[in-house]
Structure 1
Amino acid sequence: MIQFLLVRLSLFAPILLGVLLIGFLLLQVVPSDPAAIRAGPMATAEVIEAIREELGLNRPLPEQFLIYLAKVLQGDLGRSLISNAKVVEELAATLPPTVELMAVCMLWAVPLGIALGTMAAVHRGGLLDRMLMLVSVAGVSMPVFFVGILLIWVFGFWLQVLPTSGRGGPLWTLEGWQSILLPALTLGCIILGPIARVTRTSVIEALGADHVRTARAKGLSWPKVIVRHGLRNALVPVVTLIGLQVGFLLGGAVVTETMFAWPGIGRLAVGAILSNDLPVAQGAIICLSLGFITINLGVDMLYAALDPRIRLG
């Protein structure tokens, strides 16, 4: 297991380097001048040029990237061009709300998706199977902004039982739970359908294996056969999908946090891009990329725990 972990960690550095390079180059093509943004609309050309020299914007792009990379390795992501606050401080303030949102989303969507997929596999071809798959297809087909608008209209304006914007407080308070329900439901609908569909396919395949028939012939109850021999062997592709869906969650979080005025990294990134605040946008990209890489590393570890052949191979 240790060797397997070290091999996966060895891929961490080049992937992160590639993310930093791509993020740096993409933000260089934005038609804006960071020096002019920091100087303000009333600044003279001499002041703007002095700020460009201070920020190193007059240097060649390779040299700018090396300077930027050296600062990132030291934990210095620069300062915001708008607020002049440290980017690290702004990310630290918006990271907990995003983590809370994704945790609550996964908390209800993943178990429910696995349960629905297993139920559909057990009742394969029946009415329940068709109804569950219809719901999952609908969940896959609807875009996240449509789901969010629908939930806002139903629970915010029609029933008026849940707040539709802002973060009411931490999760251990009633206001915190009330404010996070609609964003978490919106995000969870993105991954619920795919998880249910993949679980159904995997469980059907696992239940048709020889060892499952042997366990059934030995007299094990059908629920034990499903859980011990069917579902566990079917979880490897499901875990793969969950890891991939994290990327969609991060993308959906940008839209969801903007819709519900949730003070997370996604909303911070959108605001930074719209205001041409390049240091904050680059910091948000790094933070989101680190989260995606870390979760995929966790998925690899779950592979090894669920199927020893993976780590031995």
Structure 2
Amino acid sequence: MLHLLALVLVCVTISDAYTPIVMWHGMGDSYYGLNTIKLKLEKELPGVHVHSLMIGNSSFEDRVNSFIMHPDKQIQFACNLIQSDPLLANGYNSIGFSQGSQFLRALVQRCPSPPMKNLISLGGQHSGVFGFPICFPIIQFCHQLRLLINEFAYNDFIQSLIVQSTFWHNPLDEDKYKAESTFTADINNERTINQAYIDNLQLLENMVLIKFEWDQMVIPSESQWFGFYKPNQSEEVVPVHDLEVYTRLGLDKLERDGKLQFLSTPGFHLSIDWDWFLENIVRVYLNK
């Protein structure tokens, strides 16, 4: 009996050594698709609790929902999952993959309890996208394609049916985007100022934005750092510091307080080099 008690105490001590981790996958993936990374994290941080979010009742539903369940519903679903996990009650770190990054960021803004401590964003589309994946705007066909998408992206039915339409950001008509985008314009405080969004983001210890230098999925790739096209044109990309979202979302205060980190790594979209991730992320932000 004493040996059993000692084993329990050891297990509790180990698991308490590290803050739990919540992961959210990207488009077309599922919670199960992150299993390799989950195992790597558990090996590096023995005893850590890793909760890979499953949006739905199965891996199949989770994958399908990444395309058709509106982000607002997904975020509420995730909030319920996190609040019902007793091992996350004292707070957690998070890792978002592609669209899972901006969904986790919205989770901070809308579901502050239990508290998220560090948000690791891998290839997120924080300022939205204005381009079809792997289709460069300098190619005439790709340019025409995104103009075509402009015609139906903000249709109410499309916005309710296709997740990716909710972070389509048309810089050629910012007023239409702000009025009719049902997700990104809201979480970026571009329509109205939601002070709770600002206040809740300030509770983070760090927001770490990781940009993949050869990314061909996120257009423009600077959206991974909240950068985007200068309003009313679609060629010049400007950093977040020159956009309204920087002050409207309180990112300026986050950066002044040393909580907003901009990192980049060679590679295509989500081509994670584990050694780099281990050295720059796990051992810096998750190893405590």
Short-chain TM bin = under 0.3
Q: TM-score normalised to the size of structure 1? A: 0.21
- Indicate the structure (1 or 2) with the bigger Cα radius of gyration: 1
Q: Whose strand fraction is larger, Structure 1's or Structure 2's?
A: 2
Q: TM-score normalised to the size of structure 2? A: 0.22
Q: Whose helix fraction is larger, Structure 1's or Structure 2's?
A: 1
